[in-house]
Structure 1
Amino acid sequence: MMKRVLTTCPYCGVGCNFYLDVRDNRIVGIIPSKSNTVSQGRLCVKGWHAHEPIQHPDRLKKPLIKENGKFSRKSGIPQNAGKEAIWKEVSWEYALDYVAGRLKEIKDKHGPDSLAVCTSARCTNEENFLMMKFARAVLGTNNVDHCARTCHSATVSGLNQSFGSGASTNSYDELTRMDCILIIGSNPTEAHPIAGWRVRTAIDNGAKIIVCDPRKILPAEDASVFIQQFPGSDIALINAMISYIITENLQDKEFIQQRTEGFNELWEAVKDCSPESVKDITGVEPTLIKKAAKLYATSKKACIMYSLGMTEHTVGTDNVIAMANLAMVCGQVGKEFSGIYPMRGQNNVQGACDIGALPNVYSGYQPVTDDAARKKFEAAWGVGLPKEKGLTLTDMMYKAIEGKLKCFYIIGEDQIRTDPNSRWIEKALDSLEFLVVQEIFMSDTAKKADVVLPGASFAEKEGTFTCAERRFQRVRKAIEPIAGKTDGEIVCEIAKRLGYAMEDNPSKVCDEMASLTPLFSGVSFDRLEANGLQWPVYAKEHPGTPVVHLEKFIRGLGKLIPVKHRPPAEVADSEYPFILTTGRMLFHYNTGTMTRRTNNLNREYPRNFVQIN
């Protein structure tokens, strides 16, 4: 008998919905949801095939312990270095007892801050909440982080400083009715195809598109203005736009006066950044910068869309602040048909940030250093909590190499393949006394582990994801977990063995999240059944918030923060004249862990490629 289960796509941060067709506990097909407000009956090519990796023969089905690695890590050199790993399948009971025992041993010997947890943007909000609770309440450390550290943590930090909230300001529905869309550091056609479809619809409706990208991406073909700036020159480019806008008296004086602070300091910083003065830095003709600035500033309905091309820089936070400055100077934020759209890379990287899978905040961005917030969580969880900020993902690697971080519990991330400088990451992981990796496939990072715990895919669990427009949406279980347990259940069973009981029912975990988080205190599974809710959701009857900062910014006044161009650490010269930059392709996703196990996608693009100018 066939059943059809509505759920949310596990790929990019757009958050499309589809139905999984299930027969005999096997997923046999996917049907788009016509009623879903996000995708409106559309899917990209990855979404159409999202079910294929779930039942791939490479799936991990049993816990594994590295026989020639057990208790063998000394002085940062594992005993089996350079040798073929020998893995032994063990029972869940044995694996969980073993992991709990090693965690306790290391905590007792070296203290709680010798341990760290990396949660996953691929897991549900509820699972991420359990993971961050496990780190803080069970292990006793704020050393918890996830992949946003290398992708969109700049968004969280930058927009929070400028607006008071590190997320998209407006809704997808508004995109199709914009007059102007400034796309910078983003390739929505390939990276976020259903958002790209909305941009295409806006163009068909008469919108003008400005594309700023070092590479001539597909949206550039439809652009009214295409700016091909040098990599790493984005702040100089945006400051030149702001300088020209103010010089030409195109700024929104009323908005600046009533809704912002810091204008004089900003003007002092950008007044000499004319389009002519930044030509050598950006490689862009001044006339193009002026044309783009005027088009954006004078459009009645204009927004900025960006992604990893702006955040994955050493100056990523400043890039985000510069875009916020541009939006506020032109009054293109805090109203409908305007705003800033950070296009999130992974399906639940927005949610993982929102629920506190970060070393400095609890759920809803409540600081761990705030006494009132900490006492609230201590009362709810019945234990004392650490007072200091934890280590970021980057700092964890440094501390591992220094010998100060002894144990790492990684869930659903492949640092060796995704983080910069893979050799350095390998050195850090090899320096640990104990490494646990929870994964659905044997990744390069999992191969370094002492214990590998088989996780569950999106189709094997209940919960929620939060997409890039701040929308909570339901994730529903279509089949039983192939390895027997969900990621949340695994974490809770380890916690129980360490003497701390955690609720593992996803609906009740969602209720616990809501009870502790004013930003989404009105969220519950029952209220998400139709099309989800966009936070803030302040109460059980609150309808959600499609547009934030309408009457005032969450921080009060929007803050105009001067940021200056800083050249990249390494620039091209006569000896090394080429600049390497990365991009996205429509048919594959990130490291290809899932899409490379999808036959039709591999047929289209069996290998990666390099484009040379």
Structure 2
Amino acid sequence: MAGLVTVFGSGVMTNSVPETENNDVLFIIGSNTKENHPIVALRMLKAVKKGAKLIVADPRRVPLVKHAHLWLKQRHGTDVALLNSMMHVMIKEGLVNKNFIEERTEGFEKAAAAVEEYTPEVGEKITGVPKEKIIEAARIYAAGKNAAIYYTMGITQHSHGTDNVYSLANLVLMAGNLGRESVGLNPLRGQNNVQGASDMACAPNVFPGYQKVIDKEVRAKFETEWKVNLSDKIGMTAIDMMYAADAGKLKALYIMGENPVMSDADQKHTIHALKSLEFLVVQDIFMTKTAELADVVLPAACFAEKDGTFTNTDRRVQRVRKAVNPPGDARDDSWIIMELSRAMGYEMNYGSMSEVFDEVGRLWKNVAGINYRRIEERGIQWPCPTTDHPGTPYMFKGTFPIGKAKFSAIKFNPSLELPDEEYPFTLSTGRQLLQYHTGTMTRRVKAIDKAAPEAYVEINPADAGRMSIDNGAMVRVTSRRGSIMLKAKVTNVPDIGVVFIPFHYSEAAANVLTNPVYDPICKIPELKVCAVKLEKIQEDQNHAA
């Protein structure tokens, strides 16, 4: 988040979920909140019932649109142009928070110069959103006393995802919507402990607490605690590893609680990369599509079979308690890691998970005040630097840890694979309400799978009519990387020329189709935009298949 990225990373909510109910403006962009974060969406709807204005910016007619004061239906991948045009209006009409900008930020002039060319007319041409709606959105957001922004992977899963986030940071800084209750820039995390995994350094460039491995003083602190010498080299991201494996530069891979065969772009490439390894270890609770390729599978315990903590989307550290014993030979992730470490010559001597968390507190000041006793009944939100500190519902009150927050000068860059004559449709992928992520757990629940049993492709009625595709008919969807067959769902949710496929279903995996290009900074693949073509499958072809 512009200058905020250097403090806590790109995915930290500045405010808390309960504050949502007191927003007077909610700007939701790139987030199908009602299906993917339904509990948060309930709080959003409570705010709307209190009179809050809801702006939804999404290429699809997602469920929250029917509650929205304003729907900005931008073309896929044009978020920067939309946001720059809104900021252009705010600057031209004197709607920016001058006091906040002068006192708490730097670099505004460069950001303002970058958005100068993005008039509402230019914004309309690029995004397809009428200029009147761009102007109205800018005015509504700027006028809100408690205006908050919420986003998810519709913003980040692009080849320019970092630019998208920087643009949102620019917008929130121009309005001065940070450091107060019920405002902020709030990325909603997609899984239950993604925030905790990020906090604990599941990234190749940081130690726990987002402390950089290249920082000598930071490294020395961890070396003293762990009694080892630590490398100052930044490691590979997950996507870098796949390319390295494919090129024969990576010999072995240890995958824990992840199913990249289903979740990574371009499934064919992912499978080839994993098969190119000399040795693959997968640690998981079920035999996933990725685990089927492994040389060794380590059976892990699920959440109800172990002790520890989860950190939720708004930084709240909460206890997880063992309720039942794991089946068969399954073991806690922590036990497996400690045994592997011991076998490799490094003893990890922890008597309990509370000792591990106490160590984290010694090494990262933002959780130094949290311990298992304090979160026995209720979680605490970090930063919490001391044991008498109550935790921090909203961040950046009065100051930023880096001094002044930094604006960024961002220009619009289109997605890297757009529709053409051969592949005339734009494909976007994502989740639906009833299935979860790669389906590893939910597709084993009979009631859930009965309600959402099969893959589908959403097609606009105009496109379906033109191609004589009936609702429920089988179609073939093909990209430059492969093709899948699945049922058509004729609906007004996608726009004309756009199709949508949920990625939960292995028998018609959306990521057979997706483009493996990725953002050069954060290395997230462009899962939200690629070019495809549709073909109606005739009855005789269907039987043959």
Provide the C-alpha distance between the structure 1 equivalents of 2:431 and 2:238, rounded to a whole number of angstroms. 24
User: Does the alignment pair 1:523 with 2:523?
Assistant: no
How far residue 573 of structure 1 moved from its aligned partner, in angstroms, is: 2.6
- CA 415–192 in structure 1, closer or farther in 2 if over 3 Å, else same: same
Q: How does 1:159-174 map to 2 (within 5 A)?
A: 159-161=4-6, 166-174=11-19
Alignment match, 1:577: 424
Provide the C-alpha distance between the structure 2 equivalents of 1:374 and 1:222, rounded to a whole number of angstroms. 50
Provide the C-alpha distance between the structure 2 equivalents of 1:484 and 1:226, rounded to a whole number of angstroms. 48
- CA 336–433 in structure 1, closer or farther in 2 if over 3 Å, else same: same
How far residue 341 of structure 1 moved from its aligned partner, in angstroms, is: 1.1
User: Does the alignment pair 1:566 with 2:450?
Assistant: no
Alignment match, 1:508: 355
How far residue 280 of structure 1 moved from its aligned partner, in angstroms, is: 2.0
Q: How does 1:158-557 map to 2 (within 5 A)?
A: 159-161=4-6, 166-482=11-327, 483-504=329-350, 505-557=352-404
How far residue 315 of structure 1 moved from its aligned partner, in angstroms, is: 0.9
Task: Name the aligned partner's letter for residue 402 of structure 1.
Answer: A
- CA 227–393 in structure 1, closer or farther in 2 if over 3 Å, else same: same
Provide the C-alpha distance between the structure 2 equivalents of 1:164 and 1:572, rounded to a whole number of angstroms. 33
Indicate if the aligned counterparts of 1:211 and 1:220 stay in contact, CA closer than 8 A: yes
Indicate if the aligned counterparts of 2:11 and 2:187 stay in contact, CA closer than 8 A: no
Indicate if the aligned counterparts of 2:90 and 2:139 stay in contact, CA closer than 8 A: yes
Alignment match, 1:612: 459
Matched residue SS, 1:581: strand
- CA 165–219 in structure 1, closer or farther in 2 if over 3 Å, else same: closer
> How does the TM-score come out when normalised to structure 1?
0.73
* Unaligned ranges ≥5, structure 2: 461-545
How far residue 368 of structure 1 moved from its aligned partner, in angstroms, is: 0.3
Indicate if the aligned counterparts of 2:282 and 2:297 stay in contact, CA closer than 8 A: yes
Provide the C-alpha distance between the structure 1 equivalents of 2:148 and 2:178, rounded to a whole number of angstroms. 8
> How does the TM-score come out when normalised to structure 2?
0.82
How far residue 473 of structure 1 moved from its aligned partner, in angstroms, is: 0.6
How far residue 161 of structure 1 moved from its aligned partner, in angstroms, is: 4.3
How far residue 503 of structure 1 moved from its aligned partner, in angstroms, is: 3.1
1:150-194, CA deviations, whole angstroms, 9 ceiling, x for partnerless residues? xxxxx7x88414887751100111111111100000011110010
Provide the C-alpha distance between the structure 1 equivalents of 2:183 and 2:308, rounded to a whole number of angstroms. 31
Indicate if the aligned counterparts of 2:305 and 2:322 stay in contact, CA closer than 8 A: yes
Task: Name the aligned partner's letter for residue 344 of structure 2.
Answer: L
1:544-582, CA deviations, whole angstroms, 9 ceiling, x for partnerless residues? 111101101222111111111101111123332211112
Q: How does 1:48-127 map to 2 (within 5 A)?
A: none
Of 230-239 and 553-562, more deviation after overlay is shown by: 553-562
Task: Name the aligned partner's letter for residue 486 of structure 1.
Answer: D
Provide the C-alpha distance between the structure 2 equivalents of 1:159 and 1:208, rounded to a whole number of angstroms. 27
Q: How does 1:581-596 map to 2 (within 5 A)?
A: 581-596=428-443
How far residue 428 of structure 1 moved from its aligned partner, in angstroms, is: 1.1
* Unaligned ranges ≥5, structure 1: 1-154
Alignment match, 2:509: none
Task: Name the aligned partner's letter for residue 370 of structure 2.
Answer: V
- CA 398–164 in structure 1, closer or farther in 2 if over 3 Å, else same: closer
Matched residue SS, 2:212: coil
- CA 511–326 in structure 1, closer or farther in 2 if over 3 Å, else same: same
Indicate if the aligned counterparts of 1:241 and 1:290 stay in contact, CA closer than 8 A: yes
Q: Which runs of 4+ in 1 moved over 6 A?
A: 162-165
How far residue 271 of structure 1 moved from its aligned partner, in angstroms, is: 1.1
How far residue 331 of structure 1 moved from its aligned partner, in angstroms, is: 1.0
Of 499-508 and 525-534, more deviation after overlay is shown by: 499-508
Indicate if the aligned counterparts of 1:214 and 1:228 stay in contact, CA closer than 8 A: yes
- CA 285–594 in structure 1, closer or farther in 2 if over 3 Å, else same: same
Provide the C-alpha distance between the structure 1 equivalents of 2:8 and 2:366, rounded to a whole number of angstroms. 15
Indicate if the aligned counterparts of 2:435 and 2:442 stay in contact, CA closer than 8 A: yes
Task: Name the aligned partner's letter for residue 499 of structure 1.
Answer: G
- CA 207–525 in structure 1, closer or farther in 2 if over 3 Å, else same: same
Indicate if the aligned counterparts of 1:158 and 1:166 stay in contact, CA closer than 8 A: no
Task: Name the aligned partner's letter for residue 523 of structure 1.
Answer: I
How far residue 337 of structure 1 moved from its aligned partner, in angstroms, is: 1.6
Task: Name the aligned partner's letter for residue 426 of structure 2.
Answer: I
Percentage identity across aligned positions? 47
Indicate if the aligned counterparts of 2:11 and 2:189 stay in contact, CA closer than 8 A: no
Task: Name the aligned partner's letter for residue 63 of structure 2.
Answer: L
The RMSD of aligned alpha carbons is: 1.4
Provide the C-alpha distance between the structure 2 equivalents of 1:464 and 1:534, rounded to a whole number of angstroms. 12
- CA 484–415 in structure 1, closer or farther in 2 if over 3 Å, else same: closer
1:425-463, CA deviations, whole angstroms, 9 ceiling, x for partnerless residues? 111111111111111111111111110110110000000
Provide the C-alpha distance between the structure 1 equivalents of 2:71 and 2:349, rounded to a whole number of angstroms. 52
